[in-house]
Each structure stands twice: as structure tokens, then as C-alpha cells.
Amino acid sequence: MWQIGSVFFVAALSNVRSWPFDSISFDDSDDGVVMPDLSYLGERIFRKPSLETGRLLENWDHTSEMNPEEMGEYAEGDIVFPKTARNGLVTESARWPNGEVPYQIDGFFDSDSLGNIKKAISIYHKYTCLKFRKRTASDNDYISIVNSNTGCWSSVGRIGGKQEVNLQSPSCVTRVGTPIHELMHAVGFLHEQNRYERDDYVTIAWQNIRSGHENNFDKADDAKTTGYGVPYDFRSVMHYSGKAFSVNGKPTIIPKDSSKAEKMGQREGFSKGDLTKINKMYNCPEKTDEVTGNNNNIPDSNNNASENKENNSNPLVEAAQGFLGWLFHKK
Ligand SMILES: [Zn+2]
């Protein structure tokens, strides 16, 4: 259903009018091989982990106005494909069959970091039908969660074989939202603010973007993108923060509706729209019935607000926690 036509659709990066945005649709005409066309990302898609990214992230803390994954020198900040990909820049990607995502944690994470990774996975399990399960010897395609490289990054969708999700610690794992974000790339989604129709919702302040990073704001090709009926979503965990890649501390993304500004770039958890998109991509039964309210309200990842002490200084978190009482029908 979400394969439209016979070409590839990159959804997450941008999106489509009636199909707003961010998932990738795939062409699986070639005996199950699925290939999203991400060629518009150019050579950056093969960029090697950089020392500069590591340095920036070492200086990052949770009070930053940017998210750690927005500090990488990769395509759109945090998208990486292995150089072994076939056919030049057109790389293979795919959904995970039956929504099963074999993974193993190969990095050495401290217990807090590991806790946030596992919490991210448990949130996927609670709100989607995706099944992250420990990789077995018979799983050729799997995610390896590491922290041996610089940056927070993932490739997009299943690319075949081992694929890494790098979470430089502690910066990428101080909040559950960044593991959620990177895993959402790994299951097939790109960034929200690069939906092709984003100019209807935000203004990109090009003059404030760090030189050389303008491509991070490229809109996806609408012919290659698709969405799942979810309107442009400022609350998406895949949306950049307002000052992503800013050279001067001024906003790079300005909502046309100023009331949306504070909602952009949250990394506390999925938005309802995120969940709808994942569940449609994977043909999951909608599991967000327990989430009420409008699309702008996030099902906060911290179902137990007391678990979130670390981020209490963040007004976003406080607002999100304030919604918890009526957002959730606790099981
Ligand atoms: Zn990202």
C-alpha cells in the first residue's frame, strides 16, 4: 500500500502532500531487494565518521539548543551508508521483514546509556508492532548498536547484512529520544523538515546555516517520497530543532506559525504522527489508541515521569510530563 508506482520513495526526508512525509517506500520488484533512491543526498551519504563530529559532540550537553544528531558531518547530520553499497549512490534499503529487527549491542555502554537504548526499544514495542529481538546466528541482516565511531547516526532502512547504528556516548544516549530517532532511520524514515512540502510550514533561514551544511536542508524529491496521511508534524522525533546547523546561534528553521516553534526538535519520544507512520509502513494495527489529544501531543517516552529527572530543566519535558495524565491510559 505504501509502495506507490514502481519507483522508490524516500519518505522520511520529505513527504508528500496528501502523504506527508517521512518514510521511505521501496521498490521490491527485484526479488525482494528494496532500493530507496537517496542519490540526492550526494557523496555525503558515504561520509566517513569525522573527528570534527566527535569534538562537537564531546562538547554537547542536554541543555544545548541542538540535538546531538544534528551536529554530525554526515548526510543530513546523521545518515550514513556503508561504502560497500552497490550501484554508486543508489543504495539498497528495505523494510524489515515481518517487522522483525534483529539487533545486537556491540558497543560498551554504561548502564544509564544502555538503559536509554533499551527503553527506546521498549517504547517501539509498546506503540508499534515492530519487534526488535536479539540477533541469532541465522540472522544475516541485523543492526549492530555501537559507540566506537563519532556521532549519532544510522543508515536508512534495512540495507542488508550488518548495519551499524552509532550512538557516541554519552551525548547520543543521555535521552531516550536520540536512540528512538536513530532507530527510526534504521526502520526506514528520514527527516521531517525535509519533506517536499515543508516550505508551506517552515521558512529555512539559509543565511544562518553553517557554510557547507546547506544540503542538510534539501527537500526530498516528491516523486520519490511518500507518507501516510500524517500532516507535517512539528512534533516528530525526526524533526530538526530550530537551530540545527546554525552558524550564528540564530534559528535555521522558522515555523510559519510561531506557536509551533517550541514543539520543533523534541527528543522526548514519538509524536503520534511518528507512530502512525511506522505502523502504516509495517502494516501494524494502530496501537496508539491509548494516546488521545491532537497530533501535537507526544506520547512521551517516559511513561513514568519520575524516571526523567535528568531532563527536568528542559521546559519541553516539563510540558510533556504535564500532558501525561491525560495523554495516556495506563495499562
Ligand atoms: Zn536523523
- Over the stretch 226-279, which tens digit does the pLDDT of each residue have? 667 888 999 999 999 999 999 999 999 999 999 988 889 999 999 998 998 889
Cα of 49 from ligand 1 centre, angstroms: 15
Q: Which are the contacts of 28, defined by CB distance < 8 A and separation ≥ 6?
A: 3, 34, 94
Measured CA to CA in angstroms, residue 139 lies from 98, 278, 299, 324 at distances of 13, 22, 32, 38
Residue 105 confidence (pLDDT) = 97
Alpha-carbon dihedral sign for residues 318, 323, 324, 327: negative
Cα of 133 from ligand 1 centre, angstroms: 22
Cα of 331 from ligand 1 centre, angstroms: 31
Catalytic option among 70, 182, 192, 268: 182
pLDDT at 330 over 50: no
Percent of the chain with pLDDT over 90: 39
- Give catalytic status of residue 268 as yes or no: no
d(CA 257, CA 259): 5
pLDDT at 185 over 60: yes
Q: Mean of the pLDDT values across residues 280-289?
A: 75
Residue 65 confidence (pLDDT) = 79
Cα of 198 from ligand 1 centre, angstroms: 16
Cα of 76 from ligand 1 centre, angstroms: 7
Highest average pLDDT, of 71-80, 205-214, 295-304, 307-316, comes from 205-214
Q: Please choose, from the candidates 108, 102, 113, the residue with its C-alpha nearest in 3D space to the C-alpha of residue 147.
A: 108
Alpha-carbon dihedral sign for residues 50, 113, 194, 259: negative
The end-to-end CA distance of the chain, in Å, is 31
Binding residues for Zn(2+): 181, 185, 191
Cα of 184 from ligand 1 centre, angstroms: 8
pLDDT at 15 over 60: no
Ranges assigned E (strand) in the chain: 100-105, 131-134, 142-146, 152-153, 162-167, 202-204, 253-255
58 confidence band (pLDDT: 50, 70, 90): confident
d(CA 37, CA 308): 38
d(CA 256, CA 168): 34
Q: Please choose, from the candidates 145, 158, 154, the residue with its C-alpha nearest in 3D space to the C-alpha of residue 103.
A: 145
| pLDDT tens per residue across span 83-142 | 433 212 233 356 889 999 999 999 999 999 999 999 999 999 999 999 999 999 999 999
Residue 196 confidence (pLDDT) = 82
Q: What are the cell numbers at 38?
A: 537517496
- Residues 58 and 171: beta-carbon distance below 8 Å: yes
Cα of 284 from ligand 1 centre, angstroms: 23
Cα of 287 from ligand 1 centre, angstroms: 24
Cα of 1 from ligand 1 centre, angstroms: 25
Residue 59 confidence (pLDDT) = 75
Instruction: Give the number of other Cβ atoms within 10 Å of residue 265's Cβ.
Output: 26
Q: Mean of the pLDDT values across residues 68-90?
A: 57
Alpha helices in 177-271 (DSSP H): 177-187
Cα atoms in the 13 Å half-sphere on the side-chain side of 36? 36
Highest average pLDDT, of 44-48, 185-189, 202-206, comes from 202-206
Residue 200 confidence (pLDDT) = 94
